[in-house]
Amino acid sequence: MDLTSIDALHPSFEATNGLLILELEHGKANEIGTAELDAFDALCGLIDTNDSIRTLCTMSRRRSKKGTPLFISGANVTERAGWADARVKEHVHRQRALMCRLRTLPVYSIALTHGVTLGWGTEYLLTTDLVLATPSALFALPETGLGIIPGARGSAELAAAIGPAAALLLGCTGIRVSAHEAHAMRLVHELHDDLDMGLARVRTLAEHVATRSPTAVAAFKTALLGSLGETESTRIKREADAYELCVDAGEAALGREAFAQIRAGERPAWGPRRLLKRDSDGRPGK
């Protein structure tokens, strides 16, 4: 697999379980600028066209010069010096669209944070399916102190994830919360003692995902995310479309034929991943 287009994200691929790991290490503090946005755009294209990637994990072992662990320290605001307002708006619009695309990737996506997770970093967590953290992690949304708001889906989606009270606490005050506080407010889903234990958990989950039909996993994720906030009749329609895609793709028949093999813990030879049509927000296309 050619990973050169996403070199800026320091990728490594584990073929046995289909796990693509991004081990961020760039800039002064893993801040996200234009170069990193380009790499994330390329990542989306790579995953959409390569069904050997089954699970995505984003992490970092980076530390600051003072020894502070880092995940993503926020957006690269310094690169915007001298930009006109129109260019800033366009740049943030691009980030917002990218975050929507990351949220709907047809793979199981995990964030594993060991350190400072600010602004864009906290918003990035909302694009993943599971957030793991160590006790060293810290979270905050400092944007309102800079005269802006979290503009890469944070203001739009955070309340749905953790509730309006917790979202307003983070957004209006800018306070930093610990990993344990973030876990209590459900911004973090699991706590692990250190990065290696977190990564072991990631690999265990990746092994489970790798045994499943890539078409079925992608269809389930698309139907589920596309049903959020919809009426019951629409939710049922999305489920039906996703189920019928699995049947039409031949995966349901393969699963029936290999039932004994699957029960024995063996992995059948699933077919290539087929996708439901998706809108930019991840909802199945009409």
pLDDT 10s digits, 6-16: 999 999 999 99
- Same structural domain for residues 43 and 133? yes
- Same structural domain for residues 226 and 205? no
End of a domain among 190, 209, 228?
Answer: 209
- Same structural domain for residues 205 and 225? no
d(CA 96, CA 145): 20
pLDDT at position 280 is 54
Rounded to the nearest 5°, which phi and psi values hold at 133? -145, 155
pLDDT at position 286 is 42
- Same structural domain for residues 32 and 43? yes
Q: In 3-state terms, the chain is what percent helix, strand and coil (to 5)?
A: 50, 15, 35
- Same structural domain for residues 138 and 152? yes
d(CA 203, CA 182): 23
Q: Residue ranges of the chain with pLDDT lower than 50?
A: 286
pLDDT at position 267 is 87
For the chain, the domain total comes to 2
Q: Residue 167 is part of a domain; what is its CATH number?
A: 3.90.226.10
End of a domain among 185, 209, 233?
Answer: 209
Helix/strand/coil for 113: strand
- Same structural domain for residues 110 and 23? yes
- Same structural domain for residues 93 and 18? yes
- Same structural domain for residues 204 and 216? no
pLDDT at position 279 is 63
pLDDT at position 285 is 52
Q: CB atoms < 10 A from the CB of 26, how many?
A: 18
pLDDT at position 283 is 56
- Same structural domain for residues 204 and 243? no
pLDDT at position 281 is 54
- Same structural domain for residues 127 and 237? no
pLDDT at position 265 is 85
- Same structural domain for residues 154 and 184? yes
End of a domain among 177, 209, 241?
Answer: 209
Which residues fall within 8 angstroms of residue 243, CB to CB, at 6 or more apart?
A: 219
